[in-house]
Amino acid sequence: MLEGLWQLLFRRRRHGQDSGKTQTGPAKEQISSKLQVNYERIKAAFGNSPDLVLRYLEAGDQGKISALVVHIDGLCDKRLVSETVVEHITDINHKWDSPEQAYVDLRDRLLSVSGVSEVNSLGEFITHVASGDCGVLVDGITRGLACDTRAWEHRGVEEPTTESTIRGTKEGFVESLRTNTSLLRRRIRDPRLWIEELKIGRISKTSVAIVYISGVAEDKIVQEVRNRLRKIDVDSIQESGHLEEFIEDAPFSPFPTILRTERPDKVTGALLEGRVALLTDGTPFALIVPATFTMFITTPEDYYERYFIGSAIRLLRIASFFISLTLPSLYVAITTFHQEMLPTPLILSIAAQREGIPFPAVVEAVIMELIFEVLREAGVRLPRLVGPAVSIIGGLVLGEAAMRAGLASPAMVMVVAFTGIASFATPVFSLAIGVRLLRFLLIALAGSLGLFGVVAGMFALLIHQITLRSFGVPYLEPLAPVVFSDLKDALLRAPWWALNTRPKFVGEKEPTRQAPGLRPKPPSREEKEVHHLEGKEGGK
C-alpha cells in the first residue's frame, strides 16, 4: 500500500503536488464544503501554532461568499499574499453569484501569482500550507487553491567553504533547493536538464530533486536512483549525508560510493558526463551518482588550469592520498622490522632519535596520530577566533614538548605531520575520513607483521575496492576494469580538445561530447589566404 502511495507521489512536476501520508487527522479527508469545518480542522492539525495565519474573507461585492486564506507566517511573502491573493478576493468589483463562479474566477484569472495549483484533499492542502504556500478555500467548494508565495529567510549564494579553488566559480550551493536548481539551470540552459522532485520524510517532507540531462544520462541509472529513493520511508531527512546512507551501495565500506559536493560547476560537470545529481532541500551539499574512485581525487581546478598543470597536481594528489594512507605504517614497519632497508646514515639518525624513547615505534605512532586527530577535530569545532590558539598549542607546544620530553622522536613527529598535511590534499572530505580510519588499521598491521602486514592490508583494500559498485558502475573504473578511452581523464587529465567522449558506463547514450580535431594549430595556407583576402576587402 505504501508502495502505491509512493507511486502516486512520484510524478515529475516542478513542485511537489502531493503530500506524504500524515499519520493522523485530516490526511485522507476531503475538503468540507463548510468553511467553518475546514477552519477547525486546519487549526487542529497545526495544534494552534501561533505562526499559522487563518483569515476569513468576504469575497466579491455582495459579501455572500466567504473564503478562507491560510498561510504560515515567515514562510511566505506577506506583501505578495496581500497584493495578489487577499486584495483580489476582497475586491468589491467582482460580481459573483455563486461560490463556484468565484472559485473558478479566482483560480483561472484573479490570483496573480504564477503558480496556482488545485488540491483536492485537506491533507494535501495542509502540506502546501506547511511548505509555505498560501492556501485559499472558498465556502461551499470542496477543492482548494495553493498559491506559490514561498519566501523565507535564507543565506545568499557564497563561495563554497569546503571546496575552494583559485580559479573557477565562486558560487556555492545554499540551503534553498530552488536556488540550487537555479544555479544549475544557469549553467545548463537546455530544456533537457530535467529535474524530478519528490518529498522524503513522513514528517519533514524534505524535497529531494533528481537532476539529470535527459538523453545523456543512462535511463537505467536514473531509474535505479528513483527506485532507491522511493524505498526510503523515514520520518525525516536532514542532510544529504542522511540520504546518502539510505541509497549507497556499500554501507559497510570505508570508501564512499557517492560523491558529495558544494560546487555547482562540479555537479554540472558530472551531469554532462551522464551522471545524476541529487539535491536535498536544507543543505548545500549535493550528491552525485554514480561515483568512481578517481572522482574523489579530482577537483574542478584540474579542468580549469592548463592540462599538464592539471595532470601534475592530480598526480601530486594521488601521491598524497597514498602518503596519507600508508606513511606512518611504512615508517613503523621499516624501522621495527626491516632496518636493513634504509641507508645506513638514515637508520643511524633514526636510531639516535629513538634513544630513550619509552614506547615501541608502533605505540608512538598511534599516540601521535591520536593527538593529531584530536587536534584536528578540536580545530574544526572551535569558534574561528580560538582556532589559531589551538594550532599553536597543538602544533608547536605539543609537538615540541613531546620531543623534548622524550615521548616522541622528531622523525615520528615529522611523519605524522606530513601524513596529516597529505590527508588535507584529498579534496573530498568523505574519502579523507575513511582514509583516517584505515591508517590506524594499517599501523596495527605494520606493528604486528611489518611490511608483510602493510602489503596484505593494501591488497585487502584493493580487492575490496574492486568489488565495489556505485549504481552499477565499477568503483575503480577506468583502472579496473581498464577502459582505455576513459584513462584520458583518470590519473592524468588530457587536454580539453582531446576529451572527446563521455565516460563509458554512464555516458554511453550519447558518447560524443565535442567535434573532433579541436586542437589549436597554426592556420593552413588556404586559411591564411582567405584571411588575407577578407582583410583586403574590409579595407576597401
The gap between the terminal CA atoms of the chain, to the nearest Å, is: 79
C-beta of 353: minimal distance to another protein in Å? 5
Closest to 226 measured CA to CA, from 197, 203, 206, 201: 197
Residue span binding another protein (CB under 8 A) among the ranges 77-85, 445-453, 497-505, 509-517: 445-453
C-beta of 237: minimal distance to another protein in Å? 25
Closest to 119 measured CA to CA, from 108, 109, 127: 127
What DSSP letter does each residue of 456-483 carry, written as one string? HHHHHHHHHHHH-EETTEETTTTBTTB-
By CB under 8 A, residue 444 contacts another protein: yes
- Collapsing DSSP states into helix, strand and coil, what is residue 152? coil
Length of the chain in terms of residues written: 540
Instruction: Classify burial at 385, counting beta carbons within 10 Å of its beta carbon; exposed 0-12, middle 13-18, buried 19 or more.
Output: exposed
Within 331-360, which residues bind another protein (CB under 8 A)? Answer: 335-337, 339-340, 344-345, 347-357, 360
Q: Report CA 475 to chain centroid distance, whole Å.
A: 19
Residue span binding another protein (CB under 8 A) among the ranges 156-164, 371-379, 447-455, 477-485: 447-455
Site map (CB under 8 A) of another protein, residues 455-474, x = contact: -x---x--------------
Phi, psi of 19 (to 5 degrees): -90, 160
What DSSP letter does each residue of 293-327 carry, written as one string? HHHHT--HHHHHS-HHHHHHHHHHHHHHHHHHHHH
By CB under 8 A, residue 390 contacts another protein: no
Site map (CB under 8 A) of another protein, residues 236-255, x = contact: ----------------x---
The residue behind cell 506547511 is 130
Within 101-120, which residues bind another protein (CB under 8 A)? Answer: none
Q: Which of 130, 195, 382, 449 binds another protein (CB under 8 A)?
A: 449
CA atoms of 316 and 233, how far apart (whole Å): 43
Residue span binding another protein (CB under 8 A) among the ranges 34-42, 81-89, 330-338, 481-489: 330-338
Site map (CB under 8 A) of another protein, residues 287-326, x = contact: ----------------------------------------
Within 410-429, which residues bind another protein (CB under 8 A)? Answer: 410
C-beta of 342: minimal distance to another protein in Å? 9
By CB under 8 A, residue 439 contacts another protein: no
Residue span binding another protein (CB under 8 A) among the ranges 46-54, 114-122, 425-433, 441-449: 441-449
* Cell numbers found for residue 369: 596520530
What is the binding site for another protein (CB under 8 A)?
Answer: 252, 335-337, 339-340, 344-345, 347-357, 360-361, 410, 444-445, 447-450, 453, 456, 460
